[in-house]
Amino acid sequence: MTDGAGDVGKVRGWVRAARRIVVLSGAGMSAESGVPTFRDAQTGLWAKFRPEDLATEDAFRADPKMVWDWYAMRRAMVAKVEPNAGHRAIAAFQQRHPGRLTVATQNVDGLHQHAGSPGVLALHGNIAEDTWLEAPRACCTDANLLPGTPPRCAVCGNLRRPAVVWFGETLPPEVLQAAQDAALASQLMLVVGTSGVVYPAAGLARATPGRVVVINPQASDLDAVADAVLRGGAAVLLPQLLEEHP
């Protein structure tokens, strides 16, 4: 493991040499765009609640309106922010080198997609999207959607819910499998802005046979398995690593 600004050049060499690259991003990357981290997204009325008590299926079933309103507040926060230079550097690299870099993200804010990254593997879902609480029946269609907080099927009453992974839920199997396949095929993984404590996402860095580079201003649980650790933010370091230089 190495640590320091002098390692940027070495990692840039690894980027140039790698045929398959995975970027695993976490909350720290979005925080640089001004997205409150999960536990910071509480103001006013919400300050008396623990996020873990709101981000569960049980909480939603007990008080759908309260949980829906909390997510509406988080959605409004996310809608005000823009991708940072790190998001844009990743998307630009993908556009120059189609099929060479895969993004797997723990973030639900959609900033990678907004920056132009194709095929983003959103491990924990997308806060801007909804899904059905129960398995949808034939009546659960947009035509039968009754507005409300939350909206519901006008025929059977099935509720809409945020399309994010709540505590106690499993990650979307097809998304997780695609991320695992990408990790196993990669020669280089850039782990950006994640603490490395949330599994199974953190397990991707431990599964790759390639080099692992941690990009984070703070220490993480993945530092010990990294081939290089770059102390700094994604908005500064990713352009240095991914942009073409004369």
Residue 2 has pLDDT above 50, yes or no: no
Q: What is the pLDDT of residue 43?
A: 52
Distance CA 93, CA 89 (A): 6
Q: What is the pLDDT of residue 92?
A: 97
Q: Which amino acid is at 14?
A: W
% of the chain with per-residue pLDDT over 70 = 92
Q: What is the pLDDT of residue 1?
A: 43
Q: Which residue has the tokens 């507040």?
A: 73
Q: What is the pLDDT of residue 50?
A: 74
For 130-178, what is each residue's pLDDT tens digit?
999 999 999 999 999 999 999 999 999 999 999 999 989 999 999 999 9
Helices marked H in the chain — which ranges? Answer: 8-17, 27-31, 51-54, 57-62, 64-79, 85-96, 111-115, 173-185, 203-207, 234-242
Residue 58: CB atoms within 10 A of its CB come to: 11
Q: CA-CA distances (angstroms) from residue 187 to 10, 21, 41, 209?
A: 15, 6, 36, 7
User: Which residues are tagged catalytic?
Assistant: 124
**pLDDT classification of 64: cutoffs 50, 70, 90:** very high
**pLDDT classification of 63: cutoffs 50, 70, 90:** very high
Q: What is the pLDDT of residue 45?
A: 47
Over residues 183-196, the mean pLDDT reads 95
Q: Which residue has the higher pLDDT, 3 or 139?
A: 139
Domain ranges of the chain: 1-34+83-124+171-246, 36-80+130-164
Q: Answer yes or no: CATH 1.20.120 is held by domain 36-80+130-164.
A: no
Full-model pTM: 0.90
Class of domain 1-34+83-124+171-246: alpha beta
Contacts of 112 (CB under 8 A, 6+ apart): 25, 83, 87, 90, 91, 103, 105, 120
Distance CA 114, CA 144 (A): 30
